[in-house]
């Protein structure tokens, strides 16, 4: 059978990884797919760089992406340009030209997914995006196909390697955020402008996609609560450790009777959980299904070849399914369009979680009593209290409180009241805690 | 669209789990599959028990499995009877009748897979077996599809929950094998006759399937090296811990230049590896691919609903693909029949691994020197030595040696020589060690 012809829009890290792995493993891939998969066109503004990457391979190099998209010889377009505006135009035009699309672009799909998937469906083509979430881990496939028997209850993921690397370093070396960020930038784990990663935006894009697939709702990135790690202090990592917890930047989505939680924030996780032991730039996703129970998927969330592994898995899937009746393909967001749900994403004030609070308080009688009274008045029950003994001569101390599950809005009101006490001497640190059991 | 009709051959643990999950989650499953999936016939020798399980559902109950297999209304047959002889006849007859088959029967496929897959291929039907390996973890899908871009280098799995439960208990409570086995039997984690689990046979069945898929070779259970945990002593778990290792019953398969390693045995694994921290009856599989690097898949390896989760994922896959050209389906063992490899399974003597040795030796001068000389003569290099200080008055002591990687045959020869020393006072304990990095 004739080889499937692929055009790469962008041949940077992921594009060149895809190009090289496809060539290196062509025998294995053809042996599995039953058909060759060949890159015949690549696009990059700097033609010389593109030529250097493709070497002596028989590949057309162009600076104009539309030349690829409009070439009738091309079966599948791989979009690795990133960003939203140009990528959106290219993907929509590729779909209009009847091309299948593979993309690693989570921002694009988390924001414009509804439009793009509808266009693809209307045209009868596939838009595949395994590489958009957690790099080489086949988590989209697990959620859409492997766990299809389950009512998914929740997903919790370490889905940003940069922040997990920073948190691992902060904990193991006792360093503060700014110091470790600089090290991460030096090592290439963090960008020069790290905002997207450290403020949780990248994780929220990925979480938005997983949530839509798990619960059959449209992608709604604008409804996600997004909180990063730039404000996290070394002291809280240490106190958490003393209480048996690690702090991870988790993407969490959970089905409640009232709606769907969709949130990214630093989270205390019991040390005994496997996911609490995922260190460095690695990713891991825990999925809780009603039949299967807890499952976990772990691997590299970024990098040229891990991401290429996911891109190529999509290429093989499309190679197999492109002649099938579109109704028999796996739906983009797991559920058939007529089976999608309009369950609302819950506002953060209605989210249920437990909390870690650190209060800098005056070291005098009655302080703890006033604070616990406020919590009790708001019906928030306490799980554990850790009071650091104050050093000789010090007149203030740290008071750590772990609470049981409560509603975020309720906690906000209690926090406002506690913050007003004149024995509370600094802004209260509030982190969320999940048992993940 | 008309619902797909399923017949269950056997409605015990897995069969009834499948029945209940399909009904409980029918809306979600139909919403994903685009088509209902209904159990319309079940078979069990004891009809009254079968009727009790199906309750008031509109299901035909029969004691004769062939009544299901030969019913033209049935699209897919789920085989959960277990064992080899009857199951083989039933599956082959179902294929002959043009039925697709879903099975959780690893023994059947590890032994008769070649015959069964060939029959299915000739008839143009699918035999799906996600549930045969690691229960609810979608590891077959990950290997066959998710990691399809990769040249798989090795797989290491905790793929038997009974033995992992026993090892976890032995370690955490410091108990010996026999005591924990009794506890496991009382709790229902081990069968009355636990041989299949504790001697590694069940793990070897599953490993055989994963190895075939990873490397494109036929299933060759008879070539697997199989060693269980019944001889494992509490002392070695403790010494391993002191050296930074946990002992797990691993199924290991690895591609070497000379052939494929296929082996199940107790294995020392560095404590810092995620898989070393998989406790209780849980399963986990680590897959090393050349592009993706290390990935890990974790979840429940047994039980009614976790296994049903995998069975139903297969049912949905078949529902999607049964109208597709058979050439476009995922091949049973990942590779197209004409792309299968005849790479040989290596005899155990040619396997490369590192070792943990415990020698009971006379506490006198020159003992260590004689032993290390023997190792050096066989070109086996030492990684670490731990010599327990002997108690006052004792004339013998434990000597623990960790070696670097060497060939098993070479180690066997060195062991025979060491065992012949008159200062070695008991049979030498030899365990294998894998860094999994």
Cα nearest neighbour of B328 on chain A: A320
Q: Annotated binding residue at B30?
A: no
Contact B32 A289 (CB under 8 A): no
Residues A325, A153: Cα–Cα separation, whole Å: 31
Give pLDDT tens digits for A174-229. Answer: 999 999 999 999 999 999 999 999 999 999 999 999 999 999 999 999 999 999 99
Query: Mutate which of A30, A149, A284, A323 to disrupt the B interface (most B C-beta within 10 Å)?
Result: A149
What's residue A303's pLDDT?
95
Per the DSSP assignment, residues forming a β-bridge with A78 are: A8, A102
Segment (H or E) for B256: strand B245-256
Tell me the average pLDDT across B176-194: 95
Give pLDDT tens digits for A321-375. Answer: 888 888 889 999 999 999 999 999 999 999 999 999 999 999 988 999 999 999 9
Give pLDDT tens digits for A395-436. Answer: 899 999 999 999 999 999 999 999 999 999 999 999 999 999
Catalytic residue among A99, A141, A206, A300: A206
Catalytic residue among B5, B99, B173, B206: B206
> Length of chain A in residues, anyone?
437
A309: nearest CB among B130, B292, B331: B292
Per the DSSP assignment, residues forming a β-bridge with A255 are: A260
B321: nearest CB among A293, A328, A339: A328
Residues A134, B292: Cα–Cα separation, whole Å: 11
Contact B149 A289 (CB under 8 A): no
For CA atoms A129, A285, B286, B281, give the dihedral sign. negative
> Length of chain B in residues, anyone?
437
DSSP per residue, A301-327: -SSHHHHHHHHHHHHHHHHHHTTS-GG
Give pLDDT tens digits for B1-31. Answer: 899 999 999 999 999 999 999 999 999 999 9
Domains of chain A: 4-128 (3.40.50.720), 139-300 (3.30.360.10), 352-433 (3.30.70.260)
Retrieve residue A414's tokens: 């209690």
| Centroid of chain to Cα A186 | 23
What's residue B322's pLDDT?
84
Nearest to B99 by CA among B119, B123, B115, B75: B75
Task: Kindly give the interhelix angle for A13-24 and A26-33, rounded to the nearest 10 degrees.
Answer: 80
% of chain B with per-residue pLDDT over 70 = 100
- Assembly ipTM: 0.97
What's residue A249's pLDDT?
98
Give pLDDT tens digits for A264-294. Answer: 999 999 999 999 999 999 999 999 999 999 9
B206 is catalytic: yes
Contact A148 B30 (CB under 8 A): no
B145: nearest CB among A29, A216, A313: A313
Residues A321, A141: Cα–Cα separation, whole Å: 14
Q: Which residues of A touch B437 (CB under 8 A)?
A: none
Is B110 within 8 Å of B204 (Cβ atoms)?
Answer: yes
User: B360: helix, coil or strand?
Assistant: strand
Burial of residue B279, with CB atoms counted within 10 A of its CB: 0-12 exposed, 13-18 middle, 19 or more buried: middle
Residues B136, B311: Cα–Cα separation, whole Å: 9
Q: Which residues of A touch B289 (CB under 8 A)?
A: 136, 309
Residues A268, A79: Cα–Cα separation, whole Å: 36
Is A135 within 8 Å of A283 (Cβ atoms)?
Answer: yes
Beta pairing, strands A225-226 & A259-270: parallel
Query: Mutate which of A146, A215, A307, A308 to disrupt the B interface (most B C-beta within 10 Å)?
Result: A146
What's residue B393's pLDDT?
77
Q: Which residues of A touch B29 (CB under 8 A)?
A: 148-149
Could you tell me which residues come within 8 angstroms of residue B222 by beta carbon, excluding any fewer than 6 positions away?
Answer: none
User: B297: helix, coil or strand?
Assistant: strand
Contact B136 A292 (CB under 8 A): yes
What's the gap in Å between the CA of A367 and the closest CA on chain B?
Answer: 41
Give pLDDT tens digits for A291-315. Answer: 999 999 999 999 999 999 999 999 9
Give pLDDT tens digits for B324-365. Answer: 888 889 999 999 999 999 999 999 999 999 999 999 999 988
Query: A with B: how many residue pairs have Cβ under 8 Å apart?
Result: 224
Output the CA–CA distances (angstroms, integers) from residue B34 to B29, B128, B198, B317, in the order listed.
Answer: 8, 20, 42, 11
Residues B81, B93: Cα–Cα separation, whole Å: 15
Tokens 């905002």 belong to A195
Give pLDDT tens digits for A107-160. Answer: 999 999 999 999 999 999 999 999 999 999 999 999 999 999 999 999 999 999
């Amino acid at each position: 059978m004739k080889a499937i012809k692929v055009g790469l829009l962008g041949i940077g890290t992921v594009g060149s990884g895809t190009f090289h792995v496809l060539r290196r493993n062509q025998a294995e891939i053809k042996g599995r797919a039953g058909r060759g998969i060949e890159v015949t066109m690549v696009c990059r503004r700097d033609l010389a760089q593109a030529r250097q990457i493709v070497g002596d391979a028989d590949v057309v190099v162009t600076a104009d992406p539309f030349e690829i998209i409009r070439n009738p010889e091309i079966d599948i377009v791989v979009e690795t340009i990133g960003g939203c505006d140009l990528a959106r135009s290219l993907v929509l035009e590729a779909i209009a030209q009847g091309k299948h699309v593979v993309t690693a672009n989570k921002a694009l799909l988390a924001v414009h997914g509804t439009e793009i998937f509808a266009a693809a469906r209307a045209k009868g083509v596939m838009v595949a995006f395994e590489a958009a979430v957690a790099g080489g881990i086949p988590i989209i496939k697990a959620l859409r196909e492997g766990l299809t028997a389950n009512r998914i209850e929740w997903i919790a993921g370490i889905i940003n390697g940069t922040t997990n690397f920073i948190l691992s370093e902060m904990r193991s070396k006792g360093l503060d955020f700014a110091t470790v960020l600089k090290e991460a930038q030096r090592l290439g784990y963090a960008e020069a402008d790290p905002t997207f990663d450290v403020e949780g935006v990248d994780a929220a894009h990925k979480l938005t996609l997983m949530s839509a697939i798990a619960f059959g709702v449209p992608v709604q990135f604008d409804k996600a609560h997004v909180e990063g790690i730039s404000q996290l202090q070394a002291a809280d990592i240490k106190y958490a450790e003393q209480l048996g917890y690690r702090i991870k930047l988790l993407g969490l989505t959970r089905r409640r009777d009232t709606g769907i939680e969709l949130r990214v924030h630093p989270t205390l996780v019991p040390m005994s959980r496997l996911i609490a032991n995922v260190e460095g730039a690695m990713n891991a996703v825990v999925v809780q299904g009603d039949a299967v129970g807890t499952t976990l998927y772990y691997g590299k969330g970024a990098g040229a070849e891990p991401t290429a592994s996911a891109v190529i898995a999509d290429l093989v899937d499309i190679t197999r399914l492109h002649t099938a009746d579109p109704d028999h393909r796996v739906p983009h967001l797991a559920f058939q369009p007529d089976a999608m749900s309009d369950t609302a994403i819950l506002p953060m004030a209605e989210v249920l979680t437990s909390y870690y609070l650190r209060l800098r308080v005056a070291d005098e009688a009655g302080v703890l009593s006033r604070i616990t009274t406020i919590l009790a008045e708001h019906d928030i029950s306490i799980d554990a209290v850790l009071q650091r003994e104050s050093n000789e001569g010090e007149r203030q101390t740290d008071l750590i409180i772990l609470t049981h599950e409560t509603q975020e809005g309720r906690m906000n009101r209690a926090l406002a009241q506690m913050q007003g006490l004149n024995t509370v001497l600094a802004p209260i640190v509030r982190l969320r805690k999940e048992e993940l059991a």
